[in-house]
Structure 1
Amino acid sequence: MTSKKKFLLKLPIYILLSPFYLIKGIRNALQYLFKSLKFSIRRKITLNYLSLYVMIGIVTFVFMLGGFMRNELELKSGKIYIYVDNTFDKHESGVYDLDDITKRINAIAEVENCGIELTFINDSNHVISSERYLNYNYPDSIIDSIGAFIYNKMYSSKKIIYYINPTTDNMDTVTLKIIHPITLYYKQLNTLSIMLLTCIVFGFFFIWFFGSLNNKRILKPIYAMTKTAEKISITNMNERLDVSKAKYELKDLAITINDMLNRLNVDYEKQKRFVSDVSHELRTPISIVNGYASMLKRWGKEDEAILDESIEAIIDEAKNMQVLVENLLTLVRADNQSLKFNKEEFYMNELIEEVATESLMINAKKQEIVCEPCEPIKVFLDMQMMKQILRIFVDNAVKYTPPSGRIFIKCLIEDSNCVIHIKDSGIGISKEDLPFIFDRFYRSDESRTRDTGGHGLGLSIAKAIILGHGGRMKVKSKKNEGSEFTIILPI
C-alpha cells in the first residue's frame, strides 16, 4: 500500500481529531508563553479571554466556510435534481428515450458546470454519464473521494429518482450522482473569509481593550488590599482591609483576611502580655537574689546570720524560678501537643479524698474543706496530672476563700463521664474577669499581687491537662458569693 493510500485511510481520523490537536497546541503555546513572560494577573486574564476567543473564532471560521459551501452545493444539487427529474417525467410519458436523456444530461452538466452520472438500478444496470463527469474521473470509494476533495477540489452528492418505466410499467430507480468543482466558489469563499476575518480581528481588539478595562475595574479591590497589606506591620496591627468596595468572592476574601488579622492581633497582644508577665515574675526573684548576693559580698563573711538568711532566700527564689520555668515548659508542650500522659487505672474518689486530706493538713487559713461521699469511680487517666489539677483548683479555692469559708469537693458519674465539682464560698469572680481566668498570668485586679503567691499559671496548666485528656470545664461564679468549677473527664 502506497504512502498516499495510507494517508488517505487515516485522514478521517485526523479530521475528527484536528480540533482537539488544535486546541491542545494553542493551550501548550499559551502555557509556555505565560511561564516565560512575567505577566500581571490582569494581563493573564485578558490573554485567557483572547485565547479562548481566538479558538472559538477559528472553529467558527471553519464551520462558517464549510457550512456556506455545503449549503451552496446542496442548493445547486437540488436544482439539478429538479432538472433531471423533469427529464424523467418526459421519459415516463414517452417523449424522451435514453438517447434523449443522455443529450439532456450533457446539456444540464454544461449549463450548471458540473458532472452528472445516472445509474439505472434494474436488470440492465445501464449508466449514463455526462462528458464532464468522464473528464473529472471522480473515484467511487469513500477514501478516494476524500482525496479528490482535498487534492482535486471536487465535491460529490447523491440523490435517488423514482420513475415509471414506459416499457415495463414498473417503478424503477435511478441514482443521480453530481460532481461539483469547488474552485467555482473560490470568489464567494474569499469574500466570506475576508468578512469573517475582519469581524474576528475587530472582535479581538474590542475584547482586548474593553476586557483590560473591565479586568482593571474588577481587580481594583485586590490592588487596594495589596496596598493595605503593605501597611500592616508589627508597629501597625490595627490596619484592616476595606470590605465596602469589594464584592462577591473578593468581599469574602477581605472578611476572612480581616478575621485572620484580628486573631493575629489578639495572639500578638497575648504574646506581648505573656513576655511582660514572665519578665515581671522573674524580675522580683532575680532582684532578691542580686540583693542577697550583694549582702553576702559585703557582710556574709563576718556575719553568719546574714550568710544563713541570704543562702536560704537565694535557695527559695531559685526554687520559685524553677517552678515557674517548669510550668512554662508544661504549657509549651501543651501548645506543641507534645505533652505526654502516663495513663493508668485508679479510683478518682480515692484520689480526691487524698488531695482533700493533704490540703486540710497544710491549710493555714483553717477553712472547712468538705469532701462529700463519692461512689467508687474507676478511671483510666494520668493519676499524677489529675492530682496536680485537683491541687490547683483546691489551692485556688483556699487562697480566695476567707478563714470562715467552706470548700466542697464531690465527684459522680454523668453520661459515662467522671464529673468533679469544686465549690467555695470565697470572693468570687466578676463577669468581666470570668472569660480570662484561664489565660496565662491572669489575675483579677483585686488579687493581682504576690500576697496570694503563685504566678497565675495554675488554671492555664489545669486547662491544658484537662483538654489533653479529652475533657472539658465549666465555671460558675458570682462576686462575693463564691465560685464553682466543674471538671468533666472521660472514664
Structure 2
Amino acid sequence: MTRKKDRTTYQEIRQSFIILFIFFALFTGAAVVTVVGVHLVHQSESQSIQLLRSLNRSFIDDKPDWNQWRKSSNINTENTYVRVTDQSGANRQSDVFYSKGAHTFLSSNPTPISKSLHLPFFPALTYSKHYGLFYYRSGERRGEHKKIKSEIWLSLNSIIKTLASVILVVLGTLFVGLILGWFVISLIAKRLTRSLQMLQRTAQSHSQSVVNVESLLPVPNSPVEVRELATSFNDLLSAIIENNKREKAFISNASHELRTPIAAIRGHISLVKRRGKDHPEIIDTSLHFIDDESAKMQALVNSLLALSRADKEVVQKTTFDLVAIVNETVEEQRVLLEQNIEVRGAKTASVNANQTNVLQILSTLFDNAGKYAGDDSTITVQITNTAHDTILSVENNGPSIPDEDKKHIFDRFYRGDHAHNSQITGNGLGLAIAAQLATLNGIQIKVADVVPHGVRFELVFKKIA
C-alpha cells in the first residue's frame, strides 16, 4: 500500500473525491431509507387509528356487534390481529373477542427478541416467533358499568421488506455509482494534474540533461495556479541561470586577468635562467617587470577577496554625518589625485549606513574619476538633501560612458572600450565591489552622463524615519 506521504497529487485528489462521494451517497441513502421508513410507519399508525375507530363504531346501544363488525371490516387477517376485552359489569366475567388467527398469534411463547423489544424506548414494537415484527396499539371505551379494551397488532413485515428493497437499491446504486465515479474522478484528477506532471517530467529531464540545464519550463494555459507556479519557477530559473552565467564569466575573467601576469612573470624567469649568466644586465629589467606584474596580481587578489567579503558581509549600520565623512575622504584623495576636488551642497546630512562601507565606496568613486578625468580637470562632489533622500554625487569631466556600457558598468571585470583602448590600469572590480556594498547598505547607486561630456555617479540614501 502506498504511504500517505508518498502519494501523488493525482492520488490525493482521487481519494478525496471518492471519500466525499461515498459520504454523500451514504448520507443520501440513509436519508431516503429514513424518510421511506417513517412514512410507512405513519401509514401503519393511521391504519391502526382507523381500525380502532371502526371498532368503536361497531357498538349499538352500548353493546358491541362483533358479527356485524367482522362482516363490514376490511381488516387483513394475514397481517393484522385484534383482541377486544369486554369488562362491563362488576361481577360479570370478561368477554374476549379475537379476530381470525389472533388467538394463535397471542398464544405463542415470548422470545428473547420480543422481550428485548419491550422496552420503554420501543413501547409500540413487539416481536413474535414465526410472525415477525408488529406495531401495537390499544384503546379503551368507558362508560357506566362498562369497560371495553381494544388491542391491535399490525404486522410490519411488509414495511421491512420495502425498506430492505430500498436499502438494496441504494446499495446497488452506490456500488454502480462508485465504479462509474472512480473512472470519472480519475479522469478529472488526471486532467487537473496533467500540467503538474508535465512540469515534473520536464524539470526531471532538464536536471538530468547537460544540454537543457539552462532551459526554462513550459508554461501551461490552465489551471491558473499551475500557470502562475510555472511562471514563478521560470523567474527563479532565469535568476539562477543569469547568476550562473555571471559566475562563469567571473571565473573566466579572473582566470584571464591572472593568466596574463603569470605568463609574463614565467617568461622573464625563463629569460633570466637562459641568458642571465651571459647577460647580467637583463636581470634588473626582468626583476622590475616581475615586481610590477606581481603587484598587479596582488591587487587583483585583494579585489577578489574584497568582493567575496562583500558578498557575505552582514553590515552593522549607524547614523553619522555624511558631510564629515566626505570632507575626510576628500582631504585624503587630494594627496593621491592630480585633479582638483570641489565639495558643494549641504553642510550637514545625517544618513544610516555602515561608515566603513561608505568610505570604501567613496574611495572607489574617486579612484575611478581620477583614472578617466584629465590631470587639469575638476572632480565635483555634490551633497543634496531632499524631502525623502540624501543624494551624494561624484562628477568628473572625462569621457562619457556609452549607453550600452552603462548597463554593465557595475558588472564584475567589465571594462568599456574606452578603458581598454587607453593605458588606464584596473581590473574591472572596483565598481562591482562598490555596487555590492551599496546594495548591502540599502543605498541606490546610479550612473549618468554630464553635458557636454563627463560622468556622474550618484549615491542615494533614504531619509532616516
- TM-score (structure 1 length as normaliser): 0.71
Q: Which residue of 2 aligns with 1:446?
A: 418
Label 1:182 to 1:447 Cα distance change in 2 as closer, same or farther (>3 A): farther
Partner Cα separation in structure 2 for residue 434 and residue 479 of structure 1: 16
How far apart are 1:486 and its partner, in Å?
A: 1.9
- Judged with a 3 Å threshold, the aligned counterparts in structure 2 of structure 1 residues 205 and 367 are, in CA distance, closer, same or farther, namely same
- Structure 2: distance between partners of 1:466 and 1:181: 93
Give, in whole Å, the separation in 2 of the partners of 1:420 and 1:386.
Answer: 11
Aligned to 1:391: 363
* Alignment partner of 1:293 out of 253, 269, 274: 269
Letter in structure 2 aligned against 1:437 = I
Aligned counterpart, 1:23:
none
User: Which residue type is aligned with residue 283 of structure 1?
Assistant: R
Are residues 157 and 264 of structure 1, via their aligned partners in 2, closer, same or farther at CA, if it must alter by over 3 Å? Answer: farther
Partner AA of 2:237 in structure 1: L
Aligned partner of 1:263 in structure 2 is: 239
Aligned partner of 2:44 in structure 1 is 76
- Aligned partner of 1:193 in structure 2 is 167
Helix, strand or coil at the partner of 1:390: helix
Using CA pairs below 8 Å that are at least 6 residues apart, which structure has the higher relative contact order?
A: 2
CA shift for structure 1 position 408: 0.7
* C-alpha distance 313-384 of structure 1, shift in aligned 2 (>3 A): farther
5 Å matches for 1:428-467? Answer: 428-448=400-420, 451-467=423-439
Determine the structure 1 residue equivalent to 2:120. 141
- What's the counterpart of residue 325 of structure 2? 351
* CA deviation after TM superposition for structure 1 residue 206, in Å: 1.3
Partner of 1:228: 202
Written as runs of structure 1 = structure 2, the 5 A alignment for 1:274-313 is 274-300=250-276, 305-313=281-289
Identity of aligned residues (%): 23
Q: Which has the larger radius of gyration?
A: 2
Cα displacement string for residues 395-425 of structure 1 (whole angstroms, at most 9, x for unaligned residues): 2222223445432112244448643121222
1:330 matched to which residue of 2?
A: 306
Residue type at the aligned position of 2:252: S
Q: For 2:29 and 2:340, how far apart are their aligned partners in 1?
A: 96
User: Tell me, what secondary structure is at the counterpart of 2:403?
Assistant: coil
The aligned residue for residue 411 of structure 1 is: 383
Q: How far has the Cα of 1:224 moved from its partner?
A: 3.2
The answer as to whether partners of 1:116 and 1:133 remain within 8 angstroms in 2 is: no
Relative to structure 1, the CA distance from residue 90 to residue 289 in structure 2 (aligned partners, 3 Å threshold; closer, same or farther) is: farther
Tell whether the 8 Å contact from 1:349 to 1:377 is kept in structure 2 after alignment. Answer: yes
Residue 335 of structure 1 aligns with an amino acid whose one-letter code is: D
Whole-Å Cα distance in 2 between the matches of residues 306 and 155 of structure 1?
A: 128
Which residue identity does 1:482 align to in structure 2? Answer: G
User: CA separation in 2, counterparts of 1:115 and 1:443?
Assistant: 114
Deviations 1:97-127 (A, max 9, x none): 7999x999x9969665378999xxxxxxxxx
Q: Does 1:50 align with 2:6?
A: no
User: Deviation digits for residues 375-408 of structure 1, max 9, x if unmatched?
Assistant: 1446665444322211111222222234454321
SS for the counterpart of 2:395 is strand
Report the equivalent of 2:454. Answer: 482
Cα distance in 2 for residues equivalent to 1:154 and 1:469: 88
Say if 1:440 and 1:456, in contact at 8 Å, map to a contact too: yes
5+ unaligned residues in a row in structure 1: which ranges? Answer: 1-32, 119-127, 168-174
Partner residue of 1:19? none
The CA deviation at 1:72 is 1.0
Distance 1:396 1:177 in 2: 116
Give, in whole Å, the separation in 1 of the partners of 2:376 and 2:81.
122
Structure 1 position 73, deviation (Å):
1.2
Secondary structure of the 1:34 match is: coil
> Is the CA contact (8 Å cut-off) linking 1:438 and 1:460 kept in structure 2?
yes
Higher helix share: 1
Q: Partners in 2 of 1:186 and 1:89 — Cα distance?
A: 31
Note if 1:213 corresponds to 2:181: no
Which shifted more, 262-271 or 323-332?
323-332
Flag the 1:47–1:351 CA change in 2: closer, same or farther, 3 A. Answer: closer
Cα distance change, pair 205–140 in 1 and its aligned pair in 2 (3 A): closer
Question: Unaligned 5+ residue runs, structure 2?
Answer: 86-95
CA distance in 2, matches of 1:214, 1:158: 55
Q: Tell me how far 1:443 sits from its aligned partner.
A: 2.3
TM-score (norm 2): 0.75
Task: Summarize the Cα distance change of 1:213–1:428 in structure 2 as closer, same or farther, 3 Å threshold.
Answer: same
Distance 1:489 1:461, change over 3 A: same
Q: Quick check: 2:135–2:156 contact (8 Å CA) kept in 1?
A: no
Q: 1:347 to 1:319 in 2, by over 3 A?
A: farther
Say if 1:129 and 1:289 are closer, same or farther in 2 by CA, change over 3 A: farther
- The question of whether the paired residues in 2 share the 8 Å contact of 1:34 and 1:44 is answered with no
CA contact (8 A) 1:156 1:177 kept: no
Task: Give secondary structure in 2 for the equivalent of 1:439.
Answer: coil
1:188 is displaced (CA, Å) by 2.2
Q: Does structure 2 retain, via aligned residues, the 8 Å contact 1:369–1:408? A: yes
| 1:222 alignment partner AA | L
Which one-letter code corresponds to 2:309 in the other structure?
R
Instruction: Note closer, same or farther for the CA distance 1:129–1:433 as it changes in structure 2 (3 Å cut).
Output: farther
Equivalent-residue separation in structure 2 for 1:287 and 1:116 (angstroms): 125
Q: Is the 8 A contact 1:368 1:406 kept in 2?
A: yes
> What do the CA deviations read for 1:445-483 (whole angstroms, capped 9, x no partner)?
332467322211112211222232332223322686222
Contact 1:80 1:108 in 2 (8 A): no
